[in-house]
Amino acid sequence: MRESSVARSPRSRPRKARTEPLPPMRLGAGLQVLAALLWLPQAALIALVIGDLAGQGRAPEDFGLNAATSALAVAILGIVRALLDGYAGRLCFRRARQILSERRAKAAKALAARSPLDSGRPASGVAASILGEQGEAIVPYLSRYRPARLKAVIVPLAIVLAVFPVSWAAAIVLLIAAPLIPVFMALIGWRAQAASEAQLAGLGSMNGFLLDRLRGLATIRAMGAVDRTAKRLRQEAETLRTRTMAVLRIAFLSSAVLELFAALGVAMVAVYIGFHLLGQLPFGAWGGRLSLGEGLFVLLLAPAFFEPLRDLSSIWHDRAAGEAALKALDDLSAMDVAVLNADADDQRKGARAPAPAVRLENLAFAHAGAEQAAIEEFSLSIEAGEKIAFFGPSGSGKSTLLALIAGLAPADRGCVRISEQSLDETNAGSLRRQIAWIGQTPHIFAGDLISNVTLHRPWIGADNAQRALAAAGLSHILEGRDGHLGEGGSGLSGGEALRVALARLTADPRISLILADEPTAHLDSQTAKDIADHLLAFAKGRTLIVATHDPLLAHRMDRIVYLPKSAMRAVA
């Protein structure tokens, strides 16, 4: 299964992953709450000192403090608060990045393990967009929104409890103003989430569209469809712009509405305290009158009461984007049809195993969602070292059979035996090390020709790759163009791309079973013959199974197994 390996750029160096365990996010959120609560003693001390200076209320001396020690305590509390807040913010951010990395790794692993037969696999552009920029939305959601939510629950409650013994009227004003904020946040939040999901879907679809069209640029030019494609791209970009503006509009609207309610709440408390101190509103202080210090204490706490709610509202749209991104990553991690034993480590050098015998016993397989089985009760015995052709019309199940032999999907019934070992979830990975796959359109990565052959398999050196390229008749490309290839093999003919795929096989000493899916389709007769010659030369001493429509290629094999279009029955 060499072709599916991704060629890394020779210059790219893997970054060292942070693996040390971090304290849980809850600790960071808890420390942020604690930092916010430190404002309570700070406000009390400030109110006490100012009240004392004005000669009203209790003096700091009543609590064993003087003005200087009170000021010092306020400063120390402020420093501790800033340090705690900074440390907790950093902790939450690092933990959020770690969670994002874990989710990304899980989604990437699930994507890599998804069977090529799974037609539900997301388009590469969509998957890249979710793993890349969309995934980033998780970081502000986890590191800012969640701690802010905890703060918005605990801090206002603590402040009301502190204000209540001083003035029940001020506490009631706060309690009346506070619920308006969550109610509006919920109303706006539902709309924001829908808008954010629509925007993420739009972004993914535009990425998919762009990637697809870039891949088919040559065809688009050849068909004279450049203008139409550009128009369609403009439309997609315009739709995305509208959706992005909708998300931003909601975000700004929510902030403005919530600022308004917070400002009204603070103003109401300030008006009450002011008039109370002037003797106009003499109620609300448990039968007495508030001193200047007590009034100041309540006034200092009023903005702090609304602050966590305002913080929460300003990052409210992070919730929508973050939850949509979490869902998108989770969907990416879901797997319908998986490659058998996909986790197995493939990075080991190994000697070539003897050519294996392959036995298919009562194999049955239906593609997900298909009404008819692609393969039904199919049995076949292939001798070690035999060269065999699956020959039949399009849709008769040739490629599906090859995929089942390679363990790219589990059979519904029956079994595949390679060298008498039944292919299953425990051994498919190690058996696949001796299997090579060659298809009709091998993927060529942008980069140099040598890395396109080695595919960064550590056991294949540059010398091996050079020899394999020479054997495949590609030395002239290696020398002529500096060995550099464009994305998707641009600059190579179809026959040359197949030769690169052949070089990938021949450079790997471990291969003893070759599965070739239509290797000569779309080639002219001379190139098809050359490719068949190379394939057969390499297949000496190995087992070769070819799926083909090409009668010339089929007749060069030791045996032809004809697969009729209708569901297959036992053969051979």
Residues lying near ligand ATP in the complex (CB under 6 A) are found at 117, 119, 367, 370, 374, 392, 394-400, 547, 549
The residue assigned the tokens 């899980």 is 106
Judged by CB, which is closer to ligand ATP: 153, or 334?
334
Strand partners of residue 422: 417
Instruction: Tell me the C-alpha distance between 275 and 299, whole Å.
Output: 13
Min separation Cβ 412 and ligand ATP, Å: 13
Min separation Cβ 410 and ligand ATP, Å: 14
Min separation Cβ 531 and ligand ATP, Å: 17
Residue type, 441: T
* Sign of CA pseudo-dihedral 202, 203, 208, 214: positive
CB neighbourhood size of 569 (10 A): 10
Judged by CB, which is closer to ligand ATP: 214, or 572?
572
Q: Which of 383, 418, 411 is nearest to 397 (CA)?
A: 411
Min separation Cβ 34 and ligand ATP, Å: 55
Judged by CB, which is closer to ligand ATP: 421, or 441?
441
Min separation Cβ 497 and ligand ATP, Å: 18
Min separation Cβ 372 and ligand ATP, Å: 7
Residue 63: DSSP 8-state: G
State the burial class of residue 123 (Cβ atoms within 10 Å of its Cβ: 0-12, 13-18, 19+). Answer: middle
Instruction: Tell me the C-alpha distance between 111 and 129, whole Å.
Output: 14
Judged by CB, which is closer to ligand ATP: 106, or 367?
367
Judged by CB, which is closer to ligand ATP: 285, or 547?
547
Judged by CB, which is closer to ligand ATP: 183, or 370?
370
Judged by CB, which is closer to ligand ATP: 398, or 457?
398
Do 440 and 522 touch, CB atoms closer than 8 A? yes
Instruction: Tell me the C-alpha distance between 174 and 473, whole Å.
Output: 82
Q: What is the number of H-type helices and E-type strands within the chain? A: 19, 11
Residues 6+ apart with CB under 8 A from 362: 377, 378, 379, 413, 414, 415, 570
* Sign of CA pseudo-dihedral 114, 120, 122, 123: positive
Min separation Cβ 400 and ligand ATP, Å: 3
